[in-house]
C-alpha cells in the first residue's frame, strides 16, 4: 500500500484519537468526495459536506481548517488509491505465475484503468495542480513514490523482483 505523506494537523484542528472520532473524520472525507464529484470544488461548500456527513459544520471545522484542507486529504486518498492500483500490478507473483506478455498487458490495463478512479476528483486535482503549489507537491510526491517502486523492484529483487525476467523499467 502506498504510504501517505504525513501532514501536521492545522492549528485549531484535532487529530482523532478515539474510534468514533476517526469514523466521523472518515464520514467527512467520504461526504467531501461525493460533494466534490457531484458539484465540483468551487460549488461544494463546507456546509454541503457537513450536511452530507450528517454532522454540524462546527464539527467539520474541528477536523479540518477549511474546504481546501479537506480537498488535500481527499487528494491524498485518491492518489494513493490510483497508485496502489498500479502497484498491485507489480506484484512479483503475478509476473512469475504466467506469460510475461500477459502480465505486461495487465499492468498497462491497470495504468489506463486508474483514470476511472474518482474521475471528478482527478479533474479537480489537475485543475488545482496548475493553480496551487501545495497540490502540485502532493501529486508529485505520490508520483515519485510510484516511480521509486518501478525503480526498486527490478534492481533489488524485492519479493522475487523482475530481474529474473531480464528487463528493466
pLDDT, tens digit (0-9, with 9 covering 90-100), for 94-148? 777 677 788 778 778 877 777 777 788 888 888 888 988 888 888 888 778 777 7
User: Does residue 52 sit within a domain?
Assistant: yes
Q: Read off the CATH number of the domain in which 38 is found.
A: 1.10.10.60
* Domain that includes residue 129, residue range: 67-169
Question: What is the reported pTM?
Answer: 0.68
Q: How far apart are CA 103 and CA 82, in angstroms?
A: 19
* Cβ contact 163:155 at 8 Å: yes
Q: Same structural domain for residues 83 and 58? A: no
Given a cut of 90, is residue 84 above it in pLDDT? no
* Cβ contact 75:83 at 8 Å: no
Q: Same structural domain for residues 42 and 78? A: no
Domain count across the chain: 2
Given a cut of 90, is residue 55 above it in pLDDT? yes
Amino acid at each position: 500500500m502506498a504510504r501517505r505523506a504525513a501532514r501536521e494537523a492545522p492549528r485549531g484542528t484535532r487529530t482523532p484519537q478515539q474510534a468514533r472520532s476517526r469514523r466521523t473524520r472518515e464520514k467527512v472525507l467520504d461526504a467531501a468526495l461525493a460533494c466534490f464529484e457531484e458539484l465540483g470544488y468551487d460549488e461544494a461548500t463546507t456546509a454541503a459536506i457537513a450536511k452530507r456527513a450528517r454532522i454540524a459544520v462546527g464539527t467539520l471545522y474541528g477536523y479540518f481548517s477549511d474546504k481546501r484542507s479537506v480537498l488535500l486529504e481527499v487528494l491524498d486518498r485518491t492518489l494513493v488509491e490510483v497508485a496502489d492500483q498500479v502497484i498491485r500490478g507489480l506484484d512479483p507473483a503475478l509476473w512469475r505465475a504466467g506469460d510475461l506478455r500477459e502480465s505486461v498487458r495487465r499492468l498497462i490495463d491497470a495504468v489506463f484503468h486508474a483514470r476511472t478512479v474518482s474521475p471528478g476528483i482527478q479533474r479537480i486535482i489537475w485543475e488545482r495542480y496548475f493553480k496551487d503549489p501545495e497540490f502540485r507537491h502532493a501529486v508529485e510526491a505520490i508520483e515519485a513514490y510510484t516511480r521509486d517502486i518501478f525503480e526498486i523492484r527490478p534492481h533489488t529483487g524485492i519479493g522475487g523482483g523482475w530481474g529474473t525476467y531480464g528487463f528493466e523499467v
